[in-house]
Amino acid sequence: MSLSAFNSPVKVLIADDSAFMRTALSRMVQSDDSLCVVGTAQTGPETLTQIDRLQPDVVTLDLDMPGFSGLEVLKRVMHDSPRPFIVISSLAQEGAEATLEALELGAFDCLAKRINYGSLDIVKVQDELVGKIKAAAHSRGNARRYSRRVHRPFSPPAPSLSLCTPAVVAIGTSTGGPKALQEVLPALPADLPVGVVIVQHMPPGFTGPLAKRLDALCHVHVHEAEAGMALARGHVYLAPAGQHLTLRRCSPTQVVMHVSSTPSDVPHIPSVDIMMLSVAEVFRSLAMGIILTGMGADGALGMQAIFREGGLTVGQDEATCTVYGMPRTCAEMGVLKRVVPLPEIPRQILSALGYRIAQ
């Protein structure tokens, strides 16, 4: 379903305690003819009233509002009348942790709040906000279409004898990724015989709290990657937001992390492509690449590189994706050896590594 399927522009409600932010966000949303701001709200109670009265398709939500918090708004609405929320969060530590909780509660995506915008920042943030609202509206339109397919029975294909046992697992994801990772990583055992590297598109300051949250849920150890860290079995490394993560081989037995803010002329920092291209170069046929839910096409070139080197490539299926963008691009390029629902991803990893999987 495309936005053209809507008979009228996508209705957006702006909820923020700052008059400046309400005005700025409204102007950004109204810059696109397919979107329409139907109202604004300053407090938690007012937000609930406006949602009930205006029935917006998408809500941009400040988490720090008077009356009661955006998290309380989210809890009530997702229980009574679910709809997509784009969280507009501060960059403070508390804001990052609250945003992660909001994503767990069902928020569609997040956007970092900045008090002062330069002209270039405004264009970039505006494009990002508009894109996320459109994707959120699209996901709501598709929700009923795929609801019956999410839990269908699945029988994985028999593993090919020509595939090598992976020596590393590389995962790329964006919108919907935090919840997806919370389903995949806790299913991995503490004695996982490989290291896992992940790029999750998030604003700077958010990946550290995400790594800590995941670490508390998992048997494996989850870290925000730092320069010089050695890739170790049973450990998961999350690329720091605002920096690319690549792997470099120092010796036949040691591979280390490298983080850098360059190249800067790419749509996403960190980039799934840049991470996976380095994985393909270092590990060749011993790489396993996994592409999960997310907007856009980041990761397609990296997955293609792993595929061409003879590594195992797995994509999340359309029915279980929050946004079927990144996996779709890989599927259309023909670089996925397997396409599976999200709950099957851990089994694919363990099967490839030689674990006996209970039937």
> For the domain that residue 19 is a member of, what is the CATH number?
3.40.50.2300
Q: What is the largest CA-CA distance in the chain?
A: 64
- Residues 6 or more apart in contact with residue 37 via CB below 8 angstroms: 12, 13, 14, 26, 29, 30
Query: Does a structural domain hold residue 344?
Result: yes
165-187 core/surface letters (b: 16 or more CB in 10 A; e: else): ebbbbbbbbbbbbbbbbbebbee
Confidence of residue 96 (pLDDT cuts 50, 70, 90): confident
On whether both 38 and 112 belong to a single domain, the answer is yes
Query: Does a structural domain hold residue 290?
Result: yes
On whether both 80 and 216 belong to a single domain, the answer is no
Phi, psi of 332 (to 5 degrees): -70, -25
Residue 251 lies in domain: 168-352
On whether both 184 and 93 belong to a single domain, the answer is no
- Parallel, antiparallel or unpaired: strands 58-62 and 85-89: parallel
On whether both 64 and 181 belong to a single domain, the answer is no
On whether both 174 and 134 belong to a single domain, the answer is no
**Of 155 and 53, which is predicted with more confidence?**
53
Confidence of residue 293 (pLDDT cuts 50, 70, 90): very high
- Residues 6 or more apart in contact with residue 24 via CB below 8 angstroms: 117
pLDDT of residue 332: 97
Confidence of residue 329 (pLDDT cuts 50, 70, 90): very high
Model confidence at 321: pLDDT above 60: yes
- Residues 6 or more apart in contact with residue 325 via CB below 8 angstroms: 135, 174, 175, 294, 295, 296, 297
Confidence of residue 115 (pLDDT cuts 50, 70, 90): low
On whether both 247 and 343 belong to a single domain, the answer is yes
**Of 155 and 57, which is predicted with more confidence?**
57
- Residue 348 tokens read as 């694919």
Confidence of residue 119 (pLDDT cuts 50, 70, 90): low
> For the domain that residue 274 is a member of, what is the CATH number?
3.40.50.180
Mean pLDDT confidence for 92-100: 81
Last residue of a domain, one of 83, 116, 146: 146
Place of tokens 């720091």: 240
Mean pLDDT confidence for 338-346: 97
Which active-site residues does the annotation give? 174, 201, 298
Cα separation, 279 vs 197, in Å, equals: 9
On whether both 39 and 89 belong to a single domain, the answer is yes
Rounded mean pLDDT of the chain? 90
On whether both 187 and 334 belong to a single domain, the answer is yes
Query: Does a structural domain hold residue 60?
Result: yes
Confidence of residue 113 (pLDDT cuts 50, 70, 90): confident
pLDDT of residue 91: 63
Query: Does a structural domain hold residue 154?
Result: no
Query: Does a structural domain hold residue 103?
Result: yes
On whether both 83 and 209 belong to a single domain, the answer is no
